[in-house]
Chain A
Amino acid sequence: MPSALDQISWVVIGYSALVLLVAAYAAWRWRARPPWLASMCWMLEVLAGIRALAGLAALSGGDRPDSTATHVGYLLVSVLVIPLALSSVRDDEGPWSIGVIAVAVAGVGVVSVRMMMTL
């Protein structure tokens, strides 16, 4: 598989870690979800989307990971998780809503690591 996908995945992993740290700080500092946390999540979503497009383009170009079904599943899940999490806490700015977002962001990070292992 092309190394560009790996590079994007590293960016996604690093950015996920950053969002997690910021979310933990927000939970401790304000005990409420700051509005810019959602903006950071949408940035992560853009990165995941770019990677999904790059991954699908690589697949259509003939590259084959160890398990194509698993790889496509990772690509799709990493794109779907953040919007689902944000929509589920749409009207909730309490501290627990940060936990929901943290679970989704951590999920994207873990999926990214797993995806690199299946390439």
Chain B
Amino acid sequence: MTGTPSGPRSGGHQVLLALYALFAVAAGARSAVQLATRADEAPLAYSLSLAAAATYALGWLAIRRAADGSPTLASVLLWVELGGVVTVGTLSLVEEDWFPDATVWSGYGIGYGFVPAVLPVAGLLWLRAQDPERSAGAVTAFRIVATAEAFSWAGLLAGMFAKYVVDAGEQGVQVFGPIHGTVFLAYLVVTLLTWHQQRWSLPVAFVALAASVPPFCTLLFELWADRTGRLATQGASMPKTAEPRA
């Protein structure tokens, strides 16, 4: 599934490659069946799913090349993929008439547990981690995503206020719900990466992950972790002596 004969044998790229392979097959098979059996029902949606499948196939190739030391294609393609997810996801929410049927990227990939939105973010973070001069990037990414998670909570709560309290419609929830879901999953991914990089203990990692559940607690955790030296940016990516876990 991963197959990196000349690249590094073990690393985060293996999981990315597995996910990209899985999504290339899933999106490709889905769009092929849809286009072959009922293309006239939602031609735009089905064509976009096919484009998503092609993006995943190219993404698999690009990450494999990046693992071999050639990150140029991946650094372009992952941004294109992220742009595609954001664009199609937003259009599917604000222009529902354009999409009689869902695409892989509709609602920022809600049909696939938002994994389509998290994949390019995880890929870009992995790319950054490969560059030792940008080792602080993981910590910066954690800070950004933790802050974004809190802001998405604010948007979602505002949408819920508009829907349930002042009865002003549910558009806010429809927009901020998927955004919050995507940022929530991105926070989980970034937290796992930061846990690995910063060598947090298991209780700290648990608190970091649990902070994503109550509103705004990711900000509180980020402040606490910063003050207690758990978001060190110097030497964080240096190899450290592995401590056997009891």
Interface residues of A (CB under 8 A from B): 28-31, 67, 69-70, 73, 77, 81, 84-85, 87-89, 91-92, 94-97, 99-100, 102-104, 107
Kindly state whether residue B165 has any CB partner on chain A within 8 Å.
Answer: no
Residue of B nearest to A31 (CB): B242
Say which residue of B14, B19, B21 sits within 8 Å of A96 (CB atoms): B14
Contacts of B100 in A (CB 8 A): none
> CA A26 – CA B17 in complex, angstroms?
21
Residue of B nearest to A98 (CB): B15
Contacts of B2 in A (CB 8 A): 88-89, 100
Given contacts A88-B1, A100-B2, is CB(A69)–CB(B18) below 8 Å? no
Contacts of B1 in A (CB 8 A): 81, 84-85, 87-88, 100, 104
Contacts of B3 in A (CB 8 A): 88
**Looking at chain A's contact residues, is the secondary structure mostly helix, strand, loop, or mixed?**
helix
- Separation in Å of the B195 CB from the closest CB of chain A? 10
> CA A43 – CA B67 in complex, angstroms?
32
> CA A97 – CA B11 in complex, angstroms?
8
> CA A60 – CA B10 in complex, angstroms?
43
Residue of B nearest to A106 (CB): B22
- Separation in Å of the B185 CB from the closest CB of chain A? 14
Contacts of A67 in B (CB 8 A): 33, 37
> CA A28 – CA B26 in complex, angstroms?
29
Residue of A nearest to B38 (CB): A67
Residue of A nearest to B202 (CB): A28
Whether B33 pairs with A77 at a CB distance below 8 angstroms is no
21 CB-based A-B contacts, threshold 8 Å:
A28-B202, A28-B245, A29-B245, A67-B37, A69-B33, A70-B33, A77-B25, A81-B1, A84-B21, A85-B1, A85-B18, A87-B1, A89-B2, A91-B9, A94-B9, A94-B10, A96-B10, A97-B14, A99-B14, A100-B1, A100-B14
Kindly state whether residue B132 has any CB partner on chain A within 8 Å.
Answer: no
> CA A69 – CA B242 in complex, angstroms?
49
> CA A92 – CA B195 in complex, angstroms?
23
Residue of B nearest to A74 (CB): B29
- Separation in Å of the A59 CB from the closest CB of chain B? 16
> CA A70 – CA B30 in complex, angstroms?
8
Residue of A nearest to B245 (CB): A29
Contacts of B69 in A (CB 8 A): none
> CA A67 – CA B21 in complex, angstroms?
23
Taking CB atoms and an 8 Å cut-off, the chain B residues in 205-246 that contact chain A are 242, 245
Residue of B nearest to A85 (CB): B1
Kindly state whether residue B12 has any CB partner on chain A within 8 Å.
Answer: yes
Whether A88 pairs with B245 at a CB distance below 8 angstroms is no
Whether B33 pairs with A99 at a CB distance below 8 angstroms is no
- Separation in Å of the A94 CB from the closest CB of chain B? 4
- Separation in Å of the A111 CB from the closest CB of chain B? 9
- Separation in Å of the B101 CB from the closest CB of chain A? 13
Contacts of B14 in A (CB 8 A): 88-89, 92, 96-97, 99-100
Whether A81 pairs with B22 at a CB distance below 8 angstroms is yes
Given contacts A67-B33, A70-B33, A88-B18, is CB(A96)–CB(B12) below 8 Å? yes
> CA A26 – CA B82 in complex, angstroms?
32
Closest 7 CB pairs of A and B: A94-B10, A99-B15, A103-B18, A88-B1, A88-B2, A84-B1, A100-B18
Say which residue of A73, A88, A100 sits within 8 Å of B33 (CB atoms): A73
